[in-house]
Structure 1
């Protein structure tokens, strides 16, 4: 993750949100990236890890002014913290493999036509997703699996459901090994077929790096989205 979004000369600290005193230690950074996790913001809502993370996201939103990126579980934590909703995948099944993103027109302004029109394919590993965006969010990308793949809140909080930091080898060695028991043989053959496809995370990585570098993403005219469920 640090290799994906970091720049030469930067100092990155890895903090443990399940530890006491996390909020005090976490404040004051120039930016934040929340990684994926096997935990659930729904099922584990009362855990110290989830409650601390949601509290941090709200503080960053209300007070800090720093950019924040959430990946997979991290994007779901953003939604849960800021008034959105997290639920099981629309299919009711665990998604493991890859998905191609469909960029919303507003994303073209942020990415430029070359990146936005090139294929964007990310590793996916999730049983839940963002079912409703936080009020005032900007939807940047969707996929055939879920409606909210990439979204932006307040111009500086970026949710990414996929894993731009994960390559095919990590997908096979870690995610597929961990989740094998969730799939029957026919389903597993489909997972293996998806895992052989080439990945194209460049546009998503560029978006995240730009946010961390500039502190905000501000296209000239961004339509905001308020959802009710």
Structure 2
């Protein structure tokens, strides 16, 4: 099964060589599940020919806001709607979670209560799941067809499933502790309050459930379910 990865941002240049870029992180996360991958740096206006260029699609995170005026936003929204209409499985992570919701009629905004960075705890359909996060924006109004499957008190719409069409997650299962440290060092200062950066650094060695999300993403691509 061929998965097209739509890269909507770049890793900080200071850790790019060691950590890899955003698309590379998902290749690593999903390894061993019999997928092949094609990468498109949509943030740099590198788009596929259309939805049929892959069997399933994944949109990465980004430092950009889904509601901001960037050249790649409108064509990416068009592609989201085309993939959705073509009934191909679609997965979105962080910015991907947001742009899918926005493209399908939901609302994304800069959250009034600030940032979530580092290890967070979620109610995941009755189970407790820990994942790394790095976001201020949130989906605040759900589009038609979206159901919440993951949440916490800070982020009510932390994971959404759109029937058998899309599965989206606000947190970052592809980010390990070292990557969070890199973000806290190179992208956080001046943007994220120091107290939150300190807390994020303090939690980088605590376990997260990236393996659970890797399985759920893989299952969704293959079976249109996260069970």
Q: So what's the TM-score if we normalise by structure 2?
A: 0.80
Candidates 75, 83, 95, aligned match of 1:60: 83
RMSD: 2.2
Larger Rg: 1
The Cα shift of 1:177 comes to 2.5
Q: Deviations over 1:64-117 (max 9, x none)?
A: 2111110000000110000111012241x1221121110235xxxxxxxxxxx3
1:149 matched to which residue of 2? Answer: 158
Q: 1:90 to 1:196 in 2, by over 3 A?
A: farther
> Counting helix residues as a fraction of each chain, which structure ranks higher?
1
**Separation in structure 2 between the aligned mates of residue 16 and residue 26 of structure 1, nearest angstrom:** 15
Counterpart of 1:181 in structure 2 is 190
C-alpha change, 1:6 and 1:90, in structure 2 (3 Å) is farther
Report the equivalent of 2:173: 164
Number of residue-to-residue matches in the alignment? 202
Question: TM-score with structure 1 length normalisation?
Answer: 0.79
| Structure 1 gap segments, 5+ residues each | 106-116, 220-229
Q: Could you list the per-position Cα deviations for residues 3-28 of structure 1 after superposition, in whole angstroms to 9, with x for gaps in the alignment?
A: 21244653211112246672525533
Alpha carbons of structure 1 residues 157 and 173: separation in structure 2 relative to 1, 3 Å: same
Kindly tell me: are residues 211 and 186 of structure 1, through their superposed partners in 2, closer, same or farther at Cα, counting changes over 3 Å? closer
Gaps of 5+ in 2: 1-25
Q: Secondary structure at the match of 1:134?
A: coil
The one-character-per-residue Cα deviations of 1:142-185 (angstroms, maximum 9, x if unpaired) are: 02321011101132211110000111011102354211222454
